[in-house]
Amino acid sequence: MLIEHRGLKPRLGKDVYIAPNAAISGDVEIGEGSCVLYGAVLTAEGGPIRIGRNCVIMENAVLRGAPGAALTIGDNVLVGPRAYLTGCTVEEQAFLAAGSTVFNQAVIGARAEVRINAVVHLKTYLPVGCTVPIGWVAVGHPVQILPPDRHEAIWEVQKTLDFPKTVFGVERPKDGKSLMPSVMPRYARALRRHLQDKAAG
């Protein structure tokens, strides 16, 4: 399904395949020979999405453009089933396995691998040819690649990356209060812009 969002329609190169129940919304450009498989969602709500040539976006993957952070994928990239990418850059020939997650402003270098259920945190740079093992977490620049049981070490780097400011544009409360009452009304309001969407073809 191709959807016009905020006056912008998806643009498809030659020989692109879109599965019947995939959803492609807004300012999305997909390069020649690429495929978007069943249940995948590509939504350019806050920023554009650019996908190169001969890429495969597998079943139920979710790709989101973010405010101030376009989602860009180079040529010959595989995005595995159930992967989640938002506002990041993935260079050519990278492999993102099933369930992998890549957050805002992260960069996945050419020929890098993010294996099953691994995470690349926001503002993290994964060098060319680097691998994040199954279930591990890559965080920071220079990157540290840590097992999930090293939460304290991950948090030491992650807190300096400032997820609330980067993703939602708000300061983390210093008194331990939740971000949600200040963030969610604004986020929901932005998402309600989809009320004006219409089929693009």
pLDDT tens by residue, 186-201: 889 888 988 999 998 6
Fold of 2-199: UDP N-Acetylglucosamine Acyltransferase; domain 1 (2.160.10)
* Mean pLDDT of the residues in the chain: 94
Helix (H, G, I), strand (E, B) or coil at 63: strand
With 90 as the cut, is the pLDDT of residue 161 above it?
no
- Please tell me which of 134-138, 162-166, 177-181 the model is most confident about, judged by mean pLDDT: 134-138
Global pTM value: 0.94
DSSP structure class, residue 5: B
- Report which residue type is found at 137: V
Give helix then strand counts, H and E, for the chain: 3, 22
Tokens 């807004």 map to which residue?
A: 26
- Report which residue type is found at 1: M
Centroid of chain to Cα 103:
6
The 10 Å Cβ neighbour count of residue 81 is 17
Cα–Cα distance, 34 to 170 (Å, whole number): 37
Give 179's pLDDT tier (boundaries 50, 70, 90).
confident
Cα–Cα distance, 12 to 159 (Å, whole number): 39
Q: Where are the domains of the chain?
A: 2-199
82-93 average pLDDT score: 98
